[in-house]
Structure 1
């Protein structure tokens, strides 16, 4: 296959590129050139928000499939629908569990794809999507509108992969490290009074799933998550067990809350992915080793910082 990946310079995007390349695909990465691609991968430099520059970079190119790792707004989706109109037959949008943010409820069931009906979801291209703060504050809504626009207007097949919270060694967000560091240092972790369960997925596994989905023929949304959910207290307990420590939990509010403490259920139903032929692992299969790796990484970083003093 000839596959184009938009973005993909870090975290599981880079793993995805390597998965595709190692499976024999010809991979082209389109990004702003912030970091070099893996060996054997073609890179085209363009800002995906600049429609003219994107068209120029892609001149004369077509692909069997496109994977969009960095589409956060309906404006970006609209540009993609126009630019790739005659360049691909299949478009895979990496979306997020955050599209379900307002649908989960305390003690509620895991959410399946049909819980969110985007057939008539309003799309507003006039909102200030280009403003970084606005985009960050409306991340879930931006993804919902991007999904809705592509699903309704794109002239090619569209599949959207709604990823659970991704955990892995390359996590630039530092969310898991927040827990491991605080518990390792005996510091309190702030959680809701009744934190709700959430779905997670391992970094290598979401890359494998996306690579699998590129060659599949389904369309529409599909959830991607490991089996089993964790609420913030269960995550802290797992970290404490791995470190031989008892976590100190406190009830917090607002900005004091730790990053994976939720007041609504963030569990995802992965039945559709399994019916399509992909079997996810369980959180317990990979979390213990990841916690060891995270703790070792923090200790190595602390040693380097100490050596610099």
Structure 2
């Protein structure tokens, strides 16, 4: 299989490259060259946002293209149009954020945001939806839209699981958001990558919620696993959502992964039966956490951070107040 990855050096794109190489694929990457390419790939350079930036893609043929773009949809539209006659399948790693706040249990047929007239760099949801439209316009049924939710795993450059691991590794009492049995839904970047490659190779097209089933793990299982794999003496202090909100703690930002109310139902309650039927598999949460911790240690404990995403994590002063130390 000949694979072209648009990106291919960070988090999801990196996972796609690594899994594809493990499968024996012939892999080409295309990006701006800001990070060293992985060994074993053919590396092409270009800036998708610059005039003439796609010149390196004007020749060549591939079985599958994987695109993880998150910004102005014109980049996906232009790339897909250029490659439509020379590639078999176009996989766009999208997001469940293309839906407005839909209820728990919603599937791929739920309403989506309107991005039909958006030709610029809008908000995240419209960027992803506009990019989906661009991929479908060029590839039609040969476009596979992988609507991921929360993505975890090694090389995460958002800061969610790395923050929890780093905080818990420091030990002592740790604020944990109740309820402990709050169901969580996520996908390991490597499972996402494998599914995208296998589904595309099998000719699958259309939109899929690519994330674990609702309740695949819980907040307690995730955080207790962090305690175990780091070997720390951390003590999880379960704190009510009401108190956290009263103290100004922001779900998702100050305490990553945690959400409340309708937002929890939306992000952690998607119907994934379609992707599961198409072969989506999930490794245990313990493997995701342990592998992320091992990677985090290998880079000195400080994970890289995407510059377009906010810094995550609870202010130590707020945590001390919640723990009764002030």
Q: Please give the TM-score of this superposition, normalised by the length of structure 2.
A: 0.74
Relative to structure 1, is the Cα distance of residues 29 and 282 closer, same or farther in structure 2, using a 3 angstrom cutoff?
closer
- Secondary structure of the 2:87 match is coil
* Partner Cα distance (2:295, 2:80) in 1: 39
Aligned to 1:115: 110
- 1:34-183 equivalences under 5 Å are 34-50=34-50, 52-54=52-54, 56-100=55-99, 102-104=101-103, 108-109=104-105, 111-117=106-112, 121-127=114-120, 129=121, 138-151=123-136, 153-156=137-140, 157-183=142-168
- Secondary structure of the 1:28 match is strand
Question: 282-291 vs 70-79, which deviates more?
Answer: 282-291
Unmatched segments (≥5 aa) in structure 1: 130-134, 303-309
- 1:242-261 equivalences under 5 Å are 243=232, 245-250=234-239, 251-252=244-245, 253=248, 255=250, 257-261=254-258
- Secondary structure of the 1:115 match is coil
Question: 93-102 vs 45-54, which deviates more?
Answer: 93-102
Relative to structure 1, is the Cα distance of residues 241 and 144 closer, same or farther in structure 2, using a 3 angstrom cutoff?
same
Aligned to 1:286: 287
Question: 194-203 vs 210-219, which deviates more?
Answer: 194-203
Relative to structure 1, is the Cα distance of residues 97 and 233 closer, same or farther in structure 2, using a 3 angstrom cutoff?
farther
How big is the alpha-carbon RMSD for the aligned residues of Structure 1 and Structure 2?
Answer: 3.1
Query: How many pairs does the alignment contain?
Result: 284
8 A Cα contact 1:67 1:91, kept in partner: yes
- Secondary structure of the 1:180 match is helix
8 A Cα contact 2:99 2:112, kept in partner: no
Deviation of residue 165 (structure 1)?
Answer: 1.6
Select 1:274's aligned residue among 273, 276, 282: 276
Relative to structure 1, is the Cα distance of residues 140 and 124 closer, same or farther in structure 2, using a 3 angstrom cutoff?
same
Deviation of residue 161 (structure 1)?
Answer: 0.8
Deviation of residue 66 (structure 1)?
Answer: 0.9
- 1:222-237 equivalences under 5 Å are 222-227=208-213, 228-230=215-217, 232=219, 235-237=222-224
8 A Cα contact 2:115 2:127, kept in partner: no
Unmatched segments (≥5 aa) in structure 2: 303-326
